[in-house]
Chains A and B, each alone.
Chain A
């Protein structure tokens, strides 16, 4: 099977082929990915070349070439900037999602913490509430265990030592 070459692609794009040949190659391009790709690539190149041809005034090859290269750079630069912006936005989106997930998991963990603690201790939430509300007193009893048995006796003894007259 014969495929398009660069010259043929240019002629096809410039409309220099007769109707029968044009119909033949269009049918071929519809079926052939390789020729379709070649045609697209050549179309891009011809577009760029036509930009260079738009230069006004008398032909100045060096200046035209310079202008043409600037246009090419501008087209390339615009694409690169768009790509960078897209990558930035996608990265930002992923980071936002991660941060949101972290925040939600942290907050959910907070609200479920008492329940998890009660389950780990094998006690009811009510009992845990009672123990937690008496935590200060339990800590005091841990530091000063004598309070459980001798607090009244000690307070009475203190009162008598301080508040009664010497014999």
Chain B
């Protein structure tokens, strides 16, 4: 074991140190980039705590069990693709919708809930227009409608 062996060993040591540093850095920093789009869905999944993963599995199973509920995943994907401003507006609309639904008499409320999604939206709009015209004007003004 002379000088060449020492040089080779030294070079190997440096390479291994660098490789370990790279692997360590990837593991240390990648989970922190979650949501920044730098990770694959599986990497993001594995970065979650096990308890959180179990919650999502149960929720997914629940959605898959009920007929028609799978559409919720499609809507959620669609919603997440919207600009933040539009998402904020939809949340406001939901708050209005929820408020209107809550104050409906039980019979009418049941009618709303049995109706399809679009019909429910239409019924809410009719209520807003006839019973709360000022609120409708305020919302339109807030969203850039004169």
Once the chains bind, are B118 and A152 in contact (CB under 8 Å)? yes
Q: Is residue B41 contacting chain A, with contact meaning CB distance below 8 A?
A: yes
B143 / chain A contacts, CB cutoff of 8 Å:
161-162
* Residue picked from B93, B116, B128, most chain A C-beta under 10 Å: B93
Once the chains bind, are B20 and A133 in contact (CB under 8 Å)? no
Once the chains bind, are A89 and B5 in contact (CB under 8 Å)? yes
Once the chains bind, are A154 and B90 in contact (CB under 8 Å)? yes
The range of chain B's interface size is: 35 or more
A127 / chain B contacts, CB cutoff of 8 Å:
57, 60
B-side binding surface: helix, strand, loop or mixed? helix
B9 / chain A contacts, CB cutoff of 8 Å:
89, 92-93, 96
- A123 and B61 alpha carbons, distance in the complex (Å): 11
Q: Is residue B38 contacting chain A, with contact meaning CB distance below 8 A?
A: no
Within the complex, the shortest CB–CB distance from B66 to chain A, in Å, comes to 10
Once the chains bind, are B97 and A150 in contact (CB under 8 Å)? yes
4 more contacts with CB within 8 A, not counting A92-B10, A154-B93, A154-B97, are A132-B42, A160-B121, A160-B122, A162-B143
- Residue positions of A touching B, CB distance < 8 A: 85-86, 88-89, 92-93, 95-96, 99-100, 102-103, 106-107, 113-114, 117, 120-121, 123, 127-138, 140-142, 144, 146-162, 164, 166-167
Residue contacts A-B, CB under 8 angstroms, 8 given: A102-B20, A106-B20, A121-B50, A123-B57, A131-B60, A136-B76, A160-B121, A166-B136
